[in-house]
């Protein structure tokens, strides 16, 4: 009979969720190392990062309720010119409409450092919306906390960097010193009745069981002591997270969420994921966080954020719908209104192939695809984009569009009723096709503009005595 260290005195308890007897794992205590652990085996700076596996499989554990939070006015402003106060308030109004009456966009965070930032906060709070809740972001500093207190906010995020890269190399502290400093600021917030959201910066390069889990255990003790929520935001600051089954922590998103929930004792509703897109994994990692225990996923509009950006808010709207089977009150047509506002009023140019919002996301140029769309748009459109985004599927007219592409463009642009639609065999379409062919035979290489097509259509309609309206 063998007794294993850490389990000799652990009680056997029934897990009410899976109805199995379990032995509680030993408590994780801070490993106050003398030298930083920078996981050089995974992150050799002079080489591409490694993704090792140990084949430890984490079970899916998606919470009953999941939602979206927003960082458009915080992380989203770290990579672009600051928004004006009026623009922030307008976007905040859009977010309220998009999130719907059930508050699917639960909160939005703001800087507090400039007068413009604070003016925007006051104006958004004056709107009186329940959702998104106006929250702030500060450094783990007592001076920063004064700003939160002055404004009278109910919740604030605090930067609590958790990797040894930050603790040792940036803050010049030990793990023990960092933890004590962070906990003192959290306690100060709780003393004032302010809920705290701890941003665990650089968690995908952190010692999960040597620092992160012990720190979360202490945070949950404070939560119980004050009876005030203490949220944990797992920040994949450098985009190193992976969603591969059996990958090793700290790169495994599943492993991190499991550790925070099961070992750190953080309830689902207090867990949040914040991802970056350095390795093109922001969306899939955010969805994985939902699937393995996070209730909240932090996003920014169109993915605008530091370096390669954050998880796009609009992406997670449709991830939610696919996972849950409905939109839970979200108004997805607002996404198109936001895209138009950014382009026309703010002057931000959305890359044309961006899913859901780029001008070409549901536009086809291939003639064979256009032929399919003309017969049934479901063949080449991801869903009813006109219903959900006010964006009917389109065919751009070019050298490869063919008769079907031209017919589809006319029908869609003019929104022709079924009995008035033209087909690829109509004389109007054939005449326009001859003109298009002549354009490209003369050396043209660009797609035809709407204005050019409208002029040609008008010319041949008059010639044939046809009216399209």
Residue 7 pLDDT = 45
Query: Who's near 6: CB < 8 A, 6+ residues apart?
Result: 25, 26
Residue 79 pLDDT = 87
Residue 1 pLDDT = 31
Element spanning 21, H or E: strand 20-23
Count other Cβ atoms within 10 Å, centred on residue 324.
13
CA angle 64–262–14, rounded 5-degree value: 85
Q: 56, 247 in Cβ contact below 8 A? A: no
CA 177 to CA 170: how far, in whole Å?
13
CA 88 to CA 123: how far, in whole Å?
9
DSSP of 193-254: T-EEEEEETTGGGS-IIIIIHHHHHHHHHHHHHHT--EEEEEEETTS--B--TTBPTTTBHH
**Weakly modelled stretches of the chain, pLDDT under 50:** 1-7
Residue 5 pLDDT = 42
CA 468 to CA 415: how far, in whole Å?
9
DSSP of 347-371: -----TT-TTTSTTTTEE--HHHHH
Q: What class, spelled out in words, does domain 59-346 have in CATH?
A: alpha beta
Domain locations along the chain: 59-346, 363-464
Residue 308 pLDDT = 96
């Amino acid at each position: 009979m063998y007794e294993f260290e850490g389990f000799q005195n652990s009680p056997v308890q029934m897990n009410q969720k899976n109805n199995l007897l379990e032995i509680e794992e030993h408590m994780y205590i801070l490993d106050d190392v003398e030298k930083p652990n920078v996981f050089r085996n995974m992150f050799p700076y002079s080489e591409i990062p490694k993704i090792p596996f140990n084949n430890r499989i984490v079970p899916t554990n998606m919470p009953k309720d999941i939602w979206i939070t927003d960082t458009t006015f915080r992380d989203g402003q770290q990579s672009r010119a600051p928004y004006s106060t009026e623009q922030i308030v307008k976007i905040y109004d859009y977010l309220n409409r998009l999130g719907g009456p059930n508050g699917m966009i639960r909160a939005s965070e703001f800087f507090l450092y400039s007068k413009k930032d604070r003016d925007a906060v006051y104006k958004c709070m004056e709107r009186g919306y329940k959702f998104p809740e106006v929250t702030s972001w500060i450094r783990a500093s007592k001076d920063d906390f004064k700003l939160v207190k002055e404004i009278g906010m109910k919740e604030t995020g605090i930067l609590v960097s958790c990797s040894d890269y930050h603790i040792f190399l940036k803050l010049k502290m030990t793990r023990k010193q960092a933890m004590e400093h962070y906990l003192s600021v959290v306690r100060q917030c709780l003393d004032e009745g302010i809920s705290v959201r701890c941003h665990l910066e650089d968690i995908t390069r952190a010692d999960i069981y040597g620092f992160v889990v012990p720190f979360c255990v202490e945070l949950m003790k404070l939560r119980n002591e004050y009876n005030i929520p203490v949220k944990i935001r797992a920040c994949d600051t450098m985009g190193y997270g992976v969603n591969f089954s059996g990958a090793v922590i700290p790169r495994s998103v599943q492993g991190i969420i499991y550790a925070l929930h099961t070992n750190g004792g953080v309830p689902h509703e207090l867990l949040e994921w914040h991802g970056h897109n350095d390795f093109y994994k922001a969306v899939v990692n955010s969805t994985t966080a939902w699937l393995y225990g996070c209730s909240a996923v932090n996003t920014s509009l169109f993915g605008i954020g530091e370096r390669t950006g954050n998880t796009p808010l609009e992406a997670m709207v449709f991830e939610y719908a696919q996972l849950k089977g409905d939109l839970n009150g979200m108004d997805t047509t607002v996404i198109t209104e936001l895209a138009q506002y950014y382009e026309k009023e703010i002057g931000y140019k959305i890359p044309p192939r961006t899913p859901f919002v780029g001008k070409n996301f549901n536009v086809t140029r291939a003639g064979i695809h256009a032929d399919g769309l003309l017969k049934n748009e479901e063949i080449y459109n991801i869903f009813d984009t006109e219903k959900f985004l006010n964006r009917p599927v389109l065919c751009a007219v070019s050298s490869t569009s063919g008769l079907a592409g031209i017919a589809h463009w006319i029908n869609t642009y003019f929104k022709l009723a079924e009995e008035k639609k033209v087909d690829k065999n109509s004389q109007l379409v054939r005449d326009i096709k001859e003109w298009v062919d002549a354009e490209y035979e003369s050396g043209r290489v660009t797609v035809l503009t709407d204005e050019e097509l409208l002029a040609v259509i008008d010319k041949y309609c008059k010639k044939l005595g046809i009216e399209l309206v």
